[in-house]
């Protein structure tokens, strides 16, 4: 139930006396305040409703909702703690790539792969995102296999490096990357191939 508070109507008038000027030029002069007519305004009664109190059923319903929310939150916390992996298990099976693994494909898209076998030397440049081969050179090809005296010596590595550089520039690739494998060093035949590629105008990033 609302309690209404009413105020009695009041009236006030706007007359030309309120706007009378302090200085008059003469008895016959007309001032701007004399043009206002007498107006009477009536204010209506104002009622302010009071807020209705909550019933017992509404209070019980609010209490029940609050208890259900607390039980649900406690259950979620216990379940999350039960399913969380330990640090050792997370270290063994990481489920998230590092920042370098996520951005290296875009920062250094072209990757050089070099493979040495007992019979020949193989090298190729491929695009990481699409796995497309940009350039490839191997001493097992017909034109090199019949002309080179050895397919695995330092001279063969220089030929492979020169071919990789020329074919990469033909494909409009002027910057490539090479990632060392585990326990691998830039020395020997690998260093010869990388130096030859760099001498022929390819930049390593």
Report the CATH number that the domain containing residue 111 is assigned in CATH. 3.30.420.80
**Residue 181 maps to a domain:** yes
**Residue 8 maps to a domain:** no
**Residue 20 maps to a domain:** no
Give the closest residue to 156 by CA, choosing from 205, 126, 198, 114. 114
Least confident among 35-39, 143-147, 196-200, 201-205: 35-39
As a whole number, mean pLDDT of residues 70-93 equals 59
For the chain, the domain total comes to 2
Q: Does 192 lie in the same domain as 106?
A: yes
Give dist(CA 9, CA 13) in Å, integer: 14
**Residue 173 maps to a domain:** yes
Enter the pTM of the model: 0.53
Residue range of the domain that includes 65? 56-84
Q: Does 197 lie in the same domain as 127?
A: yes
Does the pLDDT at position 182 exceed 80? yes
Q: Does 174 lie in the same domain as 148?
A: yes
Q: Does 113 lie in the same domain as 75?
A: no
Structure confidence by residue, pLDDT tens digits, 46-67: 565 665 677 888 888 888 888 7
Residue 188: pLDDT band with limits 50, 70, 90: very high
Structure confidence by residue, pLDDT tens digits, 83-114: 565 667 666 666 677 888 888 888 999 999 99
Q: Does 73 lie in the same domain as 107?
A: no
Q: Label the pairing between strands 203-204 and 121-127.
A: unpaired
Q: Does 178 lie in the same domain as 109?
A: yes
**Residue 2 maps to a domain:** no
Note whether 164 and 95 are within 8 A (CB): no
Give dist(CA 203, CA 196) in Å, integer: 11
Place of tokens 């009071």: 50
């Amino acid at each position: 139930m609302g309690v209404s508070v009413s105020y009695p109507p009041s009236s006030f008038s706007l007359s030309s006396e309120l706007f009378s000027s302090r200085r008059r030029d003469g008895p016959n002069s007309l001032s701007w305040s004399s043009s206002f007519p007498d107006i009477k305004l009536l204010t209506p009664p104002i009622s302010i409703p009071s807020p209705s109190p909550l019933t017992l059923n509404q209070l019980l319903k609010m209490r029940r909702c609050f208890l259900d929310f607390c039980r649900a939150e406690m259950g979620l916390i216990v379940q999350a703690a039960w399913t969380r992996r330990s640090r050792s298990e997370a270290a063994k099976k990481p489920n998230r790539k590092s920042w370098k693994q996520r951005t290296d494909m875009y920062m250094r898209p072209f990757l050089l792969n070099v493979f040495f076998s007992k019979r020949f030397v193989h090298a190729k440049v491929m695009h990481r995102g699409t796995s497309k081969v940009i350039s490839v050179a191997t001493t097992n090809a017909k034109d090199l296999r019949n002309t080179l005296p050895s397919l695995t010596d330092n001279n063969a590595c220089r030929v492979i490096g020169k071919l990789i550089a020329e074919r990469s520039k033909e494909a409009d690739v002027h910057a490539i990357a090479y990632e060392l494998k585990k326990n691998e060093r830039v020395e020997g035949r690998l260093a010869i191939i990388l130096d030859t590629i760099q001498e022929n105008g390819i930049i390593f990033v």
